[in-house]
Amino acid sequence: MAETGMSNRAGRAGVSDIVDAADVTDVADATDAVRENRPIGPHRRRVLRGAGLLGFGGGIAIGGGLGGVMALDGGVAVAAERPQEDQSGGTDRVAAVRREALAGVVGDGRHQPGIADRPPAQLVFTAYDLTTSGPAAVRTSLAAVLRTWTAAAAVLMRGEPLDGAERDTQGLGPAGLTITIGLGASALRRAGLDAQIPAEFADIPAMPGDQLDLARSGGDLGVQVCAEDPMVAVSASRQMRRLAAQDARPRWIQRGFLRSAAAAFNPGSTPRNLMGQIDGTDNPGPGTPRFDRAVWVSSGPEWMRDGSYLVCRRIRMLLDAWARLDETAQSAVIGRRKSDGTALSAPPVGQGGAETIQPDFTARAADGSLAIAGNAHVRLSHPSFHGGIAMLRRGYSYDDGLDSAGEPDAGLFFAAYQADPRTAFVAVQRTLAAGDALNTFIRHTSSALFAVPPAAPAGGFLAQGLFGAG
């Protein structure tokens, strides 16, 4: 949820007059304000499979414009409102993004897929623990799993079946499937590879307010599986789990979702989270120098150069408490308007404002108070207060039903890729944990950090440099 940054300015105005912590009494049902999709990274190419797959089922047409899209309201077919064109490129761009959501993803040969690509609608993230013991045995198991997964992921992302595997996705295309594999520092320590652990790969320290479930945190390995279709995502995740069964067992699994490319009026716009807030404004754009600096590792051990570090945090949202605030109060907590994502220091969309206009943290409201409160989320998390350091947020909403107390468990599976977690996530989260107005409405319940190595060399496997393989 972070936008990345902090403020140490004296005399900051807060939003405590709007937010009363005593109002937080339970956790709400998940809302239907789920996330849209971001544009596809320019350094990826997509291979369309299945000519003529221009629709997503359910009678939805995605040809030229959106004027013919139909929706059901109480069982009666009605014409959906035609959205206005925006900076994403208009209805032609929308149709193109929807077609591309059905395609297979081919990596650029330098980085693993599933980082710079447009996030598909479905996520299955699985953390694993290696089952062997002793450094030599762990090294052997780790290399075997990585070798097997590297080959399998390439086949699955092409939309092809694995040899001997149940063909449970017959009739489905690749659906934008990406499989991204990371290593936990615990795996390297267990394998006796401590000397290969970069300084950037330091454990995430405890943060004020953390309520972490250790059983749902950490892991020797992490596998992020994303696809536009849930059957494709679940099947790929299950097959990766089956292939590793001899050497690793699942530690925890998290399912997540975004608003689908089929449902979104504009699948290229910034997503919304379950609080209904636009979430991901000012993310670094793939293919830009800012993205490269923020996301890709450029120094340290060879096995991690051109890789990235993935921070995962399960953030439970207290949605009933959030819903008791009116929209003005919700916008004040974030520092952006809920309606259009514009900073409170700028005019709304339609009055000269835009989501992309940078916040002005010195701006004053008509009554002389700060337009963006001193403890607003956007102020404390903005890159301008962290030396310009940014990270790529690629999170998914989740709804895990009821907890043991019978309360709904829903929120954000926060996932952020960065070149150095110490100066990105850790620095930002320390500031947020100390004073973010949003803390009243969220709880961090799990945490993990994975090193995501670069793409495997031709004929090789991921992170093979760890094992002296060339």
Complete DSSP assignment for 389-444: ---EE--EEEEEEE-TTS-EEEEEEEEEEES-TTTTHHHHHHHHHHH-GGGGGEEE
CA 14/CA 24 separation, integer angstroms:
18
Specify the 3-state DSSP secondary structure of 131: coil
What is residue 452's predicted lDDT score, i.e. its pLDDT?
A: 99
CA 258/CA 299 separation, integer angstroms:
33
pTM of the model: 0.82
CA 154/CA 99 separation, integer angstroms:
21
161-212 per-position pLDDT tens digit: 898 777 788 888 899 999 999 999 999 999 999 999 999 999 999 999 999 9
Active site (annotated) includes residue 73? no
| Cβ–Cβ under 8 Å, residues 218 and 126 | no
pLDDT tens digits, the chain, 470 residues: what are they? 544 433 333 334 455 544 444 343 332 332 232 223 333 233 333 333 333 323 333 332 323 332 322 232 333 333 333 344 344 446 777 777 777 777 788 788 999 999 999 999 999 999 999 999 999 999 999 999 999 999 999 999 998 889 877 778 888 889 999 999 999 999 999 999 999 999 999 999 999 999 999 999 999 999 999 999 999 999 999 999 999 999 999 999 999 999 988 888 888 889 899 999 999 999 999 999 999 999 999 999 999 999 999 999 999 999 999 999 999 999 999 999 999 999 999 999 999 999 999 999 999 999 999 999 999 999 999 999 899 999 999 999 999 999 998 888 999 999 999 999 999 999 999 999 999 999 999 999 999 999 999 999 999 999 999 998 54
What is residue 211's predicted lDDT score, i.e. its pLDDT?
A: 98
CA 91/CA 86 separation, integer angstroms:
9
Half-sphere CA count of 275, side-chain side, radius 13 A: 29
H or E stretch including 141? Answer: helix 135-157
Which residues are 412's β-sheet partners? 315, 397
CA 296/CA 3 separation, integer angstroms:
18
Per residue in 209-221, is it b (16+ CB within 10 Å) or e — as a string? ebebeeebbbbbb
Which residues are 411's β-sheet partners? 316, 398
Angle at 91 between CA 87 and CA 96, to 5 degrees: 100
Which residues are 211's β-sheet partners? none
As a residue count, the chain comes to 470
What DSSP designation does 336 have?
A: B
Active-site choice (229, 247, 279, 282): 279
What is residue 107's predicted lDDT score, i.e. its pLDDT?
A: 80
What is residue 236's predicted lDDT score, i.e. its pLDDT?
A: 97
Q: Which two tokens stand for residue 298?
A: 């450029």
341-387 per-position pLDDT tens digit: 999 999 999 999 999 999 999 999 999 999 999 999 999 999 998 99
Which residues are 349's β-sheet partners? 353
Which residues are 315's β-sheet partners? 412, 444
Q: Which two tokens stand for residue 12?
A: 């900051």
Residue with tokens 């405590």: 16
CA 353/CA 343 separation, integer angstroms:
9
CA 346/CA 363 separation, integer angstroms:
9
Residue type, 150: T
